[in-house]
Amino acid sequence: MSNNDGCAVSRSEEAKALGIRMGMPVFQAREILQGRELITLSSNYTLYGDISFRFQETLESLCPNIEPYSIDECFLELTDLAEAKKDLYSFAQLIKQRVERWLGIPVCVGVGATKTLAKVANQLAKSNIKHRGVFMIPNNKISSILSKVPVADIWGIGPAYQRLLMENGIESAYDFSQLRKDWIRKNMTVVGLRTAYELCGFSCYDLETNPQTKKEIVVARAFGERVKDLESLIEATCTYLLRAVEKLWKENRFAQTLTIYIRTDPFRKEEKQYSQAVRVEIPVATHDLMELQDYCIQALKQIYKPNILYKKSGVMLSDLVKMEEIQADIFYKPKDSKITKLITSINANFVSGKVRTAITGFGYRNWRMRRGKISPFYTSKWKDVPVIKSK
């Protein structure tokens, strides 16, 4: 389930077959089952992040050239193996076996000459049980395989482009790859053109082993329960600020601008609606938590209105720069960031929020995210580590 156990954001194959859609409110999903049992789990970001890290480490044990694409997906560069005439299909099977043995999670592996073909292969490995989770598109069979792939399954082709292609009689990935390139460029921009070339086996997207630096960092959450008082708004928003600062330190960047915003619940039409944001220009770029927290509190006091039920708040750190890009000010004395460095380093090695400022509150807080059916923290809490007893 999503934040506050509101909507379905990840579904089993059985749930999909029952008609539970991505983003469907959980109460509607229960109505579909008409009283039968629906198994739901709250989001456990700590567990997912840790498993994702282990997943990437496992892949790196087999192939050093890796690009993390999302929390559960990576691209691997196999050019050296291909040039050495190695059996890439057997190597893909080895990847699947090692991930399942070391982590206990299922995985599908797709192999192709380009990123887009690899994505197509991965989709075929996932959707057809006879492939046993591994599929490879040989260069001499690209056309025959793509002729059976719907245009909707092409990586990067969204609903709008799907409609455009279908209206022009383009139904398969092969049909799309054979379109006149000037038509694609005119109607689908250079991005669509690159996709077409990739489907033909010409690589347009290199492996990005060094992730791009973030241009801004945003942390925002909907509250578990709506809040009315300024103290709760400060507690929640400063908690989100801590997470943003941890990301800032991970990127080794300094923020020149801090934006704070608050809003009510837009679905409560009968209640008074209010939404406001304030942008703070920082005199000298910083990544100090205490300094940013002072700005955050002052900003909230500026935009807060009493007797209003607030549903969400968030922070955004933007105009990020490197240390050597900071423009100093002779009249400005920056704060010592040693405490912030200590906090972020401890939280990086354990769990975010383990060490935090007292103003974020302790114990039960009604604004904290609802996670009534959270799965155990199998890899990060001693009490949740599975125990096997044998005699």
CATH classification of 3-40, choosing from 3.40.50, 3.10.360, 3.40.1170, 3.30.70? 3.40.1170
> Token pair for residue 314?
């968030």
**Core vs surface per residue 79-95: b (16+ CB within 10 A) or e:** eeeeeeeeeeeebbbeb
Task: Kindly report, residue by residue over 313-366, the tens digit of the pLDDT.
Answer: 999 999 999 888 888 777 777 677 888 888 888 888 777 778 888 998 887 788
CATH 3.40.50.880 fits 217-360, yes or no: no
* HSE, side-chain direction, 13 A CA sphere, residue 86: 13
The rounded distance, in Å, linking the Cα atoms of 147 and 119 is: 15
- 26 exposed, middle or buried (CB, 10 Å; 0-12, 13-18, 19+)? middle
Task: Kindly report, residue by residue over 185-216, the tens digit of the pLDDT.
Answer: 999 999 999 999 999 999 999 988 777 777 89
Architecture of domain 46-200: 2-Layer Sandwich (3.30)
Residue with tokens 């197509």: 120
**Core vs surface per residue 183-220: b (16+ CB within 10 A) or e:** ebeeebeeebbbbbbbbbbebeeeeeeeeeeeeebebe
Task: Kindly report, residue by residue over 285-327, the tens digit of the pLDDT.
Answer: 999 999 999 999 999 999 999 999 999 999 999 999 988 888 8
Model pTM score: 0.80
The full 3-state SS of the chain, as one line of letters, equals CCHHHCECCCCCHHHHHCCCCCCCEHHHHHHHHCCCCCCCCECCHHHHHHHHHHHHHHHHCCCCCEEEEECCEEEECCHHHHHCCCCHHHHHHHHHHHHHHHHCCCCCEEECCCHHHHHHHHHHHHHCHHHCCEEECCHHHHHHHHCCCEHHHCCCCCHHHHHHHHHCCCCEHHHHHCCCHHHHHHHHHHHHHHHHHHHCCCCCCCCCCCCCCCCEEEEEEEEEEEECCHHHHHHHHHHHHHHHHHHHHHHCCEEEEEEEEEECCCCCCCCCCCEEEEEEEEEEEECCHHHHHHHHHHHHHHHCCCCCCEEEEEEEEEEEECHHHCCCCCCCCCCCCHHHHHHHHHHHHCCCCCCCCHHHCCCCCCCCCCCCCECCCCCCCHHHCCCCCCC
Q: Is the pLDDT of residue 134 over 90?
A: yes
Q: Is the pLDDT of residue 35 over 80?
A: no
CA angle 307, 312, 318 (to 5 degrees): 125
Residue 172 near residue 154, CB atoms below 8 Å: no
The rounded distance, in Å, linking the Cα atoms of 63 and 75 is: 10
User: What backbone torsions phi and psi does residue 284 show, to the nearest 5 degrees?
Assistant: -135, 130
Instruction: Give the number of other Cβ atoms within 10 Å of residue 336's Cβ.
Output: 11
**Where residue 45 falls among pLDDT bands split at 50, 70, 90?**
confident
Q: What is the pLDDT of residue 83?
A: 87
Q: What is the pLDDT of residue 3?
A: 84
The rounded distance, in Å, linking the Cα atoms of 29 and 38 is: 8
**Core vs surface per residue 108-141: b (16+ CB within 10 A) or e:** bbbbbbbbbbbbbbbbbbbeeeebebbbbbeeee
Residue 110 near residue 101, CB atoms below 8 Å: no
> What mean pLDDT is predicted for residues 129-148?
92
Ordered by start, the domain boundaries in the chain are: 3-40, 46-200, 217-360
